[in-house]
Structure 1
Amino acid sequence: MFRRRPPLPPFPPSALLVGGAARDWLRGVAPKDFDWAVPDPAAAAAQLAQETGGAVFPLDEVRGYWRVHAPGEIQHDFVPLPAEVTADLLRRDFTVNALALTADRQVLDPAQGQQDLRTKQLRMVSADNLWADPLRVWRAARFEVTLRFRLEAETERTVREVTTALASGRLSMPAAERIRDELHALLSHPNSALGIQRLEDLGLLSLTMPELREGRGMLQGGFHHLDVFDHGVEALHQLLARRPDADLPLRWATLLHDVGKPRTRATDPDTGRTSFHGHDRLGAELTSAVLTRLKLPAGDVRRAAALVGAHMVPLPATEREARRFVHRRRELLPDLLSLMLADREAARGPMSSPASRRAYAQGMDRVLAALEEQPAPPPPLLSGQEVMALLNTGPGPRVGEALRAVAEAAALGEVRSAQEARDFLSAWSRHAP
């Protein structure tokens, strides 16, 4: 039984509402992304933008694809109305997406997608359609999680066959940008950790992030009860349980935070203890490589890598250390704390105890208190020119070191005026290497 169906916006003249928007409306879910097939996409888009005050721009002027960003984060895409609507719908990926709705709410359903909606089944329209666009195998995993549907048996067999063909090179990989968009749609869902596991189960993770799955079966001991791979997935789950608003760079960093462990694993020949020294630094490099390969924006890549590189920093034991922690990592806060807490909560091995978790929470509280006390860095007390005059030197790395030392002293409350900063710098210059 479907839920009560939500209202729909006015239909453009002679338009069909197609694909996911029609599917969601039939499920009783209010769409936020509308796909319209219309006789004149440019005119329909311009009209909607005028009516809503939205922004209109072409997606592909040659093919006549237009988009409108309307208020309320609503998106409308307009494409030409096909000459053969049924044939067009039967070229789609899954039956639940091969649906169209007319202005008078008549449903066009040539692949019996409504029946699959009722049984919550994800069934391909045809095997040829999945082979024609291999990106659809990633979409299958995403829809399983986001729609909470199950893959029909024959569809799953075809997904695995396409995945095998991709792995062997018999089938060309989709563009990295398209895979990225599917992964982001999956990672944006509250149950994205389950989706990562499903990607692995279907063989898609090895095509997407082979570095991540290197941790499968690699036991850690100590604080950890899961292998490296499952720990990363569980950390993502723990993050989203506490930070459902976490942005994509933080989600990526949490999933990949231990990606450097498999390549840094070492065993002490005398004690037999396993260590992963330097996995944070290597993990930052691997995170950058993975996300760059997936064509994420450069700023997102840098932030995710920086979070991974900092996740092993010890929490402060005193208020002074907490102020230094905030000063040195301010640009990563509070996300770094969210990552560190998710990492800790995903580790329930023999060394983990209520006492160790309390001590960790106290360290977190010290950082949060210091951040609340000083939400922004203090204004600079000295200029570069003043530093050069005081040190009797010209431009160079030493000036930058001096400015950073003064800034940290100000953040710690050790200097509060320009004269105190000058006195501090005089003493610093005598002891700095």
Structure 2
Amino acid sequence: MQTFNLDNARKQSPNVQNAHFLKDTLMNQLLQSAKDISRILNDAGHTCYFAGGCVRDQLLKIEPKDYDLATSATPQQVLKLFPKADSIGAHFGVILVKYAGAAFEIATFRTDGSYTDSRRPESVTFATAEEDASRRDFTVNGLFQKSDTGEIIDFVNGKIDIEKKLIRAIGNPNERFTEDALRLMRAIRFATKLNFDIEEKTWEAIKTNAPLIKNIATERIQAEFSLILLSPRRARGLDLLVKSGLIQHFLPEILDLIGCEQPPQFHPEGDVYIHTSMMLDMLEGEVTLELVLAVLLHDIGKPATYSYDPDEDRIRFSGHDSLGAEMAETILKRLKYSNKTIDEVCAMVANHMNFMNVRFMKKSKVKRFMSRPTYELEMELHRVDCGSSNGITENYDFLRAKEEEFASEPLIPAPLISGKDLIGLGYRPGPQFKEILQAIQTEQLEGKLTESSQAIAWIKENY
């Protein structure tokens, strides 16, 4: 039985270039811990396999992020071997074992009773491994593996579907989705993450049962939706959500983007939905959830602000940025995102049209523009916004040049004077304080004032 000391690993890997060593060490320890748990159960006379996603990922040459185990041992027998384990899921045959600093779910082979809430069975019956596989969601997730030999136990033809790159429901797809409607979202997530197609009968069942998603808690829908958006193939995921009919039941505003025409001189790519989809596709590397949501919702206000000017033969969306920020707030609150996420996304949506003005701003305004917390995320939003439409990068290039120009000093330096200084000059605290301090900061950012004495002289002259 091995244990892992993270501090020791960090001492062996103090430099950034050795970060892969630390990751590999952690992953190896995770696998070894899972094998240790399996061995303990097997040595006690029980059958124990690796189960589900970790088996699938290994076959796809993907490093598993966690290991779930399935066993013939009952929850009570698991607890006897791991007395400090968490038994909170024992009613469903699941015990949470903490081992060598990591947590592992150990589930007893089972079959499920009837479902009445489209989410969880009313009861479970402990069963065989084959029966357990048949109650799981998709064939690619229904595989078991012997931890000691690596042998794959496949009762559902999951290996074949992995080779064919197919997401297929186990058994009757309509039954699988009516049992647990969250599987509707999970099917889209796995197809997006793995870049698999969805098998025809499974796809038809998703479309038929899409309204059932309304029975699922918003937090669970949001979690699956976020994982889809964080996938590099997020544009495909969005398209699957639209074509399946699922998006209609939790984010119907997206459907209004389809067919919403844009001025072809600025948006030759097509309607607002196509534009948004292209932007999602253009995002590079690891992105934040806030950025992806901002890209998704940046033009959400366009359908409601659409107008056509016959004199100029031009389509306009006046105020779509401010309305879009209001709509984004409503949507994200409805989906129960955090206040931080909502604030950042709405700031980006509200501000995304201001990039067209940056080359005409005073230096002080440019510095304030660049000092906002969401600036770097907005730069990426602006990059893909232009790249998916007119391809003009003048404003982006201008700001990157300004970053170099301003790099030698803080964008917003320490203030030259404070409210106490104003009181010392005989001013009474009030609304004028903010006005004066803002004016001084502007002159400072413009490079016209550099010392406190200059600021005080400027105040006496102007106020």
Distance 1:141 1:336, change over 3 A: same
The one-letter amino acid of 1:377's match is: I
Counterpart selection for 1:393 from 428, 442, 445: 428
Q: Which has the higher contact order (CA 8 A, sep 6+)?
A: 1
Equivalent residue for 1:32?
A: 65
Please tell me whether residue 346 in structure 1 is matched to residue 346 in structure 2: no
Corresponding position of 1:21: 54
Query: 2:432 and 2:87 mapped to 1: Cα distance?
Result: 51
Matches within 5 A, 1:138-153: 138-153=185-200
Per-residue deviation, 1:301 = 0.9
Structure-2-length-normalised TM-score: 0.77
- 1:415 paired with 2:449, answer yes
Stretches of structure 2 that go unaligned for 5 or more consecutive residues are 1-26, 42-47, 110-125
Give the Å deviation of 1:373.
3.9
Judged with a 3 Å threshold, the aligned counterparts in structure 2 of structure 1 residues 413 and 66 are, in CA distance, closer, same or farther, namely: farther
Matching of residues 33-432 of structure 1 within 5 Å: 33-37=66-70, 40=78, 65-66=95-96, 76-82=103-109, 83-84=126-127, 85-104=129-148, 105-125=150-170, 126-127=172-173, 128-163=175-210, 165-166=211-212, 172-221=214-263, 222-225=265-268, 226-238=270-282, 240-241=283-284, 244-313=285-354, 314-317=356-359, 321-330=362-371, 331-348=373-390, 357=392, 359-370=394-405, 372-390=407-425, 392-394=427-429, 396-428=430-462, 430=463
The residue aligned with 1:54 is none
Q: Kindly, what percent of the aligned residue pairs are identical?
A: 28
CA distance in 1, matches of 2:413, 2:274: 42
Aligned equivalents of 2:420 and 2:97: distance in 1? 51
Change (3 A) 1:334 1:392: same
- The CA deviation string for residues 117-138 of structure 1, in whole angstroms up to 9 with x for no partner, is 1211111013211111111111
State the Cα RMSD in Å: 2.9
Measure, in 2, the Cα distance between the counterparts of 1:76 and 1:87. 26
Q: Give the 3 Å change call, closer, same or farther, for CA 58–343 of structure 1 in structure 2.
A: farther
Contact map agreement 1:130 1:137 (CA 8 A) in 2 = yes
Classify 1:272/1:123 alpha carbon distance in 2 versus 1 (closer, same or farther; 3 Å). Answer: same
TM-score of the two chains, using structure 1 as the length reference: 0.82
Shift in alpha-carbon separation, 1:28–1:325, aligned structure 2, 3 A: same
CA distance in 2, matches of 1:116, 1:152: 9
- Structure 2 distance, partners of 1:113, 1:35, is 17
Q: Which letter maps to 2:139? A: T
Residue type of the partner of 1:17?
F
Q: Distance between the aligned counterparts of 1:366 and 1:322, measured in 2? A: 13
* Displacement of 1:360: 3.3
1:9 is aligned to 32
Which structure has the larger Rg? 2
Q: What one-letter code is carried by the residue in structure 2 that aligns with 1:288?
A: E
Contact 1:18-1:100 at 8 Å conserved across structures: yes
One-letter amino acid of the structure 2 residue matched with residue 418 of structure 1: S
CA distance in 1, matches of 2:431, 2:91: 53
The question of whether the paired residues in 2 share the 8 Å contact of 1:326 and 1:370 is answered with: no
Q: Give the deviation of 1:277 after TM superposition.
A: 1.0
Q: Given the superposition, is the C-alpha separation of residues 172 and 258 from structure 1 closer, same or farther in structure 2, using an over 3 Å criterion?
A: closer
Structure 1: gaps spanning 5 or more residues: 1-5, 48-56
Q: State the Cα distance separating 1:407 from its structure 2 match.
A: 2.8
Deviates more, 1:87-96 or 1:34-43: 34-43
The count of corresponding residues between Structure 1 and Structure 2 is 395
Deviation of the 1:24 alpha carbon: 0.7
User: What is the CA–CA distance in structure 2 between the aligned matches of 1:31 and 1:45, rounded to whole Å?
Assistant: 27
Letter in 2 for 1:188: L
Distance 2:65 2:426 in 1: 60
